[in-house]
């Protein structure tokens, strides 16, 4: 399959461009390659009400195969994100959950879980169940950790619709935040393994992951862009209570906008999304910048954001699916 090289010099050049000029270029790229529409993703993980839309809880859910357990206890999460998920610690439990979703006219699930000490999420016992749930007509997407070739092929054989994974571009962030003895190139290898297995991937970049500092994000973007992704998802560090990043100052909206705009310019045909996680105090500014930076989809945007999008001539489409499926 095809991969791109030599992206580093282009990223360095774009980082020096004035932000307003960069946003104009990103907007131009977006309009050239996509319809003038903004997709709104509002899966029923939480209630979402705006002027013209209200979602239904339970139609698309997050499921953890490890329950609340995670071996890493990363500094930004400390396994807190798992507590908001539905638990399926056995394949039988997962099948039961899937049948319940289908019985209530649901659409699918994001299958995730805590990582082991090697950075993998243990899906091995669930492949047959994933296949059964696919036969019911459910969308099955997986948020994995690091993935070797064998696991990538198993996920493909199981019928997974899509694989999401966080891409970390700095070795010190991997060590200090994730508590892993891994290298950035291993995240690139995971994407390559998944692409070669024939899977659609939706790599994520957590902006500000290194205690609010933008450190490895541009390297992550370079790695992602090199594999010609179908989708890129940007999320922003949201400091949580009872974690080592509680109270950390997150990156300025302008810094976030620059990274997203460069992602759009480097990946003109990929869908670029702003995902669920973004700090509440800068939410509207981040979302408005993201629109100007050329995103296709925003998860749970505010009314003010939607109004701004309409003023820019974008038609609003609503969905209760995960943003990577919109």
Structure tokens of 176?
């200090």
* Residue 80: how many other CB atoms lie within 10 Å: 16
* Radius of gyration for the alpha carbons in the chain, expressed in angstroms and rounded: 19
Contact 2, 228 (CB under 8 A): yes
Contact 276, 283 (CB under 8 A): no
Closest among 151, 154, 91 to 120, alpha carbons compared: 151
The residues facing 274 across adjacent strands are 234, 298
Q: What is the pLDDT of residues 171-191, one digit of tens each?
A: 999 999 999 999 999 999 999
Q: Which residue has the tokens 């702003």?
A: 274
Q: Any residues with CB less than 8 A from the CB of 220 and at least 6 apart, and which?
A: 167, 168, 169, 184, 187, 203, 205
Domains in the chain and their CATH numbers? 8-325 (3.20.20.70)
Q: Helix (H, G, I), strand (E, B), or coil: what is residue 155?
A: helix
Looking at the chain, the whole-number percentage of residues with pLDDT higher than 70 is 98
pLDDT of 2: 59
pLDDT of 212: 97
Q: What is the pLDDT of residues 123-164, one digit of tens each?
A: 999 999 999 999 999 999 999 999 999 999 999 999 999 999
The residues facing 299 across adjacent strands are 41
pLDDT of 7: 81
Q: What is the pLDDT of residues 255-268, one digit of tens each?
A: 999 999 999 999 99
Structure tokens of 212?
């609010």
Contact 194, 172 (CB under 8 A): no
Length of the chain as a residue count = 326
The conformational region for residue 301 under phi > 0 = left, psi -120 to 50 = alpha, else beta, is beta
Query: Rounded CA gap, 93 and 95, in Å?
Result: 5
pTM attached to this predicted model: 0.96
pLDDT of 111: 99
Q: Which residue has the tokens 């500094």?
A: 75
Within its chain, how far is the Cα of 247 from the centroid? 23
pLDDT of 45: 85
**For the chain, which ranges sit under pLDDT 50?**
none
pLDDT of 1: 60
Query: Rounded CA gap, 255 and 271, in Å?
Result: 20
């Amino acid at each position: 399959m095809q991969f791109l090289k030599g992206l580093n010099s282009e990223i360095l050049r774009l980082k020096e461009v004035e932000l307003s000029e960069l946003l104009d270029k990103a907007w131009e790229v977006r309009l050239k390659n996509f319809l003038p529409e903004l997709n709104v993703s509002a899966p029923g993980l939480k209630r979402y009400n705006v002027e013209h839309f209200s979602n239904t809880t339970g139609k698309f859910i997050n499921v953890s195969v490890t329950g609340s357990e995670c071996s890493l206890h990363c500094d930004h999460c400390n396994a807190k994100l798992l507590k908001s998920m539905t638990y399926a610690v056995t394949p039988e439990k997962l099948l039961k959950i899937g049948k319940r979703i289908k019985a209530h006219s649901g659409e699918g699930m994001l299958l995730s879980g805590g990582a082991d000490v090697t950075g993998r999420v243990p899906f091995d016992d669930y492949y047959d169940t994933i296949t059964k749930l696919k036969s019911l007509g459910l969308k099955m997407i997986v948020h994995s950790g690091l993935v070797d070739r064998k696991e990538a092929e198993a996920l493909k054989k199981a019928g997974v619709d899509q694989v999401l994974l966080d891409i970390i571009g700095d070795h010190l962030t991997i060590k200090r935040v994730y508590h892993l003895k891994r290298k950035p190139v291993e995240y690139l290898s995971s994407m390559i393994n998944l692409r070669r297995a024939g899977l659609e991937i939706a790599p994520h970049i957590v902006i500000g992951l290194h205690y609010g500092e933008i450190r490895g994000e541009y390297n992550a973007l370079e790695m992602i862009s090199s594999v010609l992704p179908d989708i890129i998802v940007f999320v922003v560090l949201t400091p949580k209570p009872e974690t080592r990043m509680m109270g950390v100052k997150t990156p300025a909206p302008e810094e976030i906008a620059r990274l997203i705009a460069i992602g759009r310019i480097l990946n003109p045909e990929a869908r670029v999304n702003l995902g669920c996680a973004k700090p509440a105090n800068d939410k509207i500014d981040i979302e408005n910048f993201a629109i100007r930076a050329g995103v296709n989809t925003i998860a749970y945007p505010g009314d003010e954001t939607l109004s701004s999008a309409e003023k820019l001539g974008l038609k609003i489409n609503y969905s209760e699916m995960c943003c990577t499926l919109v």
